[in-house]
């Protein structure tokens, strides 16, 4: 009888420990578990052209054209979360410059050594039409 009670107490404590452990691991806010990139984005190019870009797991649709792409990594550098993607052999970075993950910019890095610097291709916003010039001034330190 004492042995059974002991095993029940140990099993109960182990269950509680595992529940707490699983709750903590899912609440860490790890960006790798959330794909901020996927979904439809309103975008604007440097020449002021408005369009949409939609990312799903394996494809990106720009306007009406669909392309295969590969998500190479999700990183945080200098407090910025960014996705490194590859499309047709070219590398791109989608950078989330604010805590609001509905705002992003897409750049083509000019160096393989730094994914955060390069030519800005798109201002991106999931909720409202972005303004390329405003995003470039604010997030790329251009005048």
Q: Tell me the per-residue pLDDT of 8-60, one tens digit each, with 9 for 90 and over.
A: 655 555 555 555 544 443 333 444 446 899 999 999 999 999 999 999 999 99
Structural tokens at position 59 = 């494809």
Q: Tell me the per-residue pLDDT of 70-94, one tens digit each, with 9 for 90 and over.
A: 999 999 988 889 999 999 999 999 9
Under 8 Å between Cβ of 102 and 125: yes
Q: Tell me the per-residue pLDDT of 100-117, one tens digit each, with 9 for 90 and over.
A: 999 999 999 998 888 899
């Amino acid at each position: 009888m004492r042995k059974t009670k002991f095993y029940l107490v140990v099993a109960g404590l182990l269950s509680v420990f595992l529940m707490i452990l699983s709750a903590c691991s899912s609440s860490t806010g790890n960006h790798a578990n959330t794909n901020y990139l996927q979904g439809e984005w309103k975008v604007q190019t440097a020449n002021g052209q408005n369009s949409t870009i939609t990312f799903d797991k394996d494809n990106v649709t720009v306007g009406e054209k669909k392309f295969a792409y590969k998500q190479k990594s999700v990183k945080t550098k200098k407090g910025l979360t960014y996705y490194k993607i590859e499309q047709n052999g070219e590398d791109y970075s989608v950078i989330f410059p604010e805590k609001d993950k509905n705002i992003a910019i897409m750049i083509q890095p000019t160096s393989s050594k730094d994914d955060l610097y390069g030519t800005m291709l798109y201002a991106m916003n999931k909720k409202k039409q972005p303004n390329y010039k405003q995003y470039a001034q604010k997030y790329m330190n251009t005048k």
